[in-house]
Amino acid sequence: MERELVDWLRATLPRHPLLRVGLGDDAAVIARERSAAEGGDLVVTTDSLGDGSHFLLTEVEPRWVGHKCLAANLSDLAAMAARPTAVVVSLMLPRSHADPVALARGLYAGMLPLAERFDTAIAGGDTNCWDGPLTVSVTALGRTTERGPLLRSGAQPGDAILVSGELGGSITGHHLDFIPRVAEALLLHERYDLHAGMDITDGLSLDLSRLCIASGCGAVLDEQAIPISAAAEQLAAASGGDALSHAFSDGEDFELLLTAPQEVAEAMVADRPVECGLTIVGQMAEGQGLTLRTADGKQEALEPTGYWH
């Protein structure tokens, strides 16, 4: 089984200039960048997705599962403002599947266009059949730029808080087909004086609370400023719920959460440097915890809610 898949991958995977040894040996060899300009420190992240938890193989085509798993890892590199270099892929394929090799091909078919888009080598992997459900484990490698990594811990009281795109309602489709904000993060990190950043995977309020803890600050969010996605509005309309709660708490937005000095943030919004849009949603503050500034100017404590793993 693995041999058949490896043969297919050898024929299918594009060549990558940095990949000295690809599939077929015990490990992959990726050329060292020869100058500081070419590459900074190594950034590495890993993420496993499992059938029944992160996707339902009965409802989703394998290529979207592959896309999602690679995209989630690239989103973690974007969160560090790192340039992706290579990924390795580890599959546990269900023996009960009618055609495990076709399943694996489908997964890779979803990863290939995304890897190509971000000039990322699929450097190797491991493929097993087993009696459990499908798991897809991806490890992504990247390089910091000359600006260094963008960390969660750099925010300062008074910083403006920005988010890319729109939030909430990812479950209706965005969680599968999103494009990670790699290009946006690199551009913004290069062009503006960002203080802190991460990607929003478990809901704005929960992830912002993590950024607050890492930076030793609190944060105030403006109720009226939150960019609520159309999907969140639709979910709220259908359930009679609250669209803002979806924007605060829904998982898997995979948008960027950034902080920068207020005047920098205002320039970032005015310049329109990225197509997905940037919105100032509040400010970092002294102290700790989240505060919500409501439409009528009141401030109330905001309990972080979102997806706890």
Q: What is the DSSP letter of 25?
A: S
With respect to its own copies, which residue has the nearer C-beta, 89 or 228? 89
Q: How far apart are CA 76 and CA 180, in angstroms?
A: 9
CB of 220 to its own copies, least distance (A): 23
Question: Among candidates 201, 82, 103, 90, which has minimal Cα distance to 136?
Answer: 90
With respect to its own copies, which residue has the nearer C-beta, 127 or 235? 127
Binding marks (x or -) toward its own copies, 176..215, rule CB under 8 A? ----------------------xx--------------x-
Residue 252 assigned as binding residue: yes
Q: How far apart are CA 245 and CA 251, in angstroms?
A: 11
| 24 forms part of the interface with its own copies (CB under 8 A) | yes
- CA angle, 55 as apex, 51 and 57 as ends, to 5°? 65
Q: H or E segment at 289?
A: strand 289-293
Find the binder of its own copies among 133, 273, 277, 289 (CB under 8 A): 133
Q: How far apart are CA 250 and CA 274, in angstroms?
A: 23
CB of 158 to its own copies, least distance (A): 22
- Give the phi and the psi of residue 244 in degrees, each rounded to 5: -60, -35
Q: How far apart are CA 190 and CA 83, in angstroms?
A: 12
Q: How far apart are CA 207 and CA 11, in angstroms?
A: 41
Residue 54 assigned as binding residue: yes
Find the binder of its own copies among 13, 80, 232, 280 (CB under 8 A): 80
Question: Among candidates 199, 66, 71, 63, which has minimal Cα distance to 140?
Answer: 71
| 22 forms part of the interface with its own copies (CB under 8 A) | no
| 305 forms part of the interface with its own copies (CB under 8 A) | no
Q: Cβ neighbours of residue 251 under 8 Å, at least 6 residues apart? A: 170, 171, 175, 201, 202, 203, 306, 307
Find the binder of its own copies among 14, 96, 119, 153 (CB under 8 A): 153
| 59 forms part of the interface with its own copies (CB under 8 A) | no
| 62 forms part of the interface with its own copies (CB under 8 A) | no
| 159 forms part of the interface with its own copies (CB under 8 A) | no
Q: Cβ neighbours of residue 79 under 8 Å, at least 6 residues apart? A: 150, 185, 197, 198, 199, 256
With respect to its own copies, which residue has the nearer C-beta, 29 or 237? 29
CB of 159 to its own copies, least distance (A): 17
Find the binder of its own copies among 9, 77, 161, 281 (CB under 8 A): 77
Question: Among candidates 279, 138, 139, 277, which has minimal Cα distance to 221?
Answer: 279
Residue 26 assigned as binding residue: yes
Largest CA distance in the chain: 64
Contact 247, 226 (CB under 8 A): yes
Q: Which residues are annotated as a binding site for substrate?
A: 54, 252
Q: Which residues are annotated as a binding site?
A: 26, 45-47, 54, 76, 108, 125-126, 152, 199, 201-202, 252
Which residues are near its own copies by CB under 8 A? 1-3, 20-21, 24-32, 39-48, 50-54, 76-77, 79-80, 82, 86, 88-92, 123-133, 135, 137, 139-142, 144, 149, 151-153, 198-199, 214, 308-309
Q: Which residues are annotated as a binding site for Mg(2+)?
A: 26, 45-47, 76, 126, 199, 202
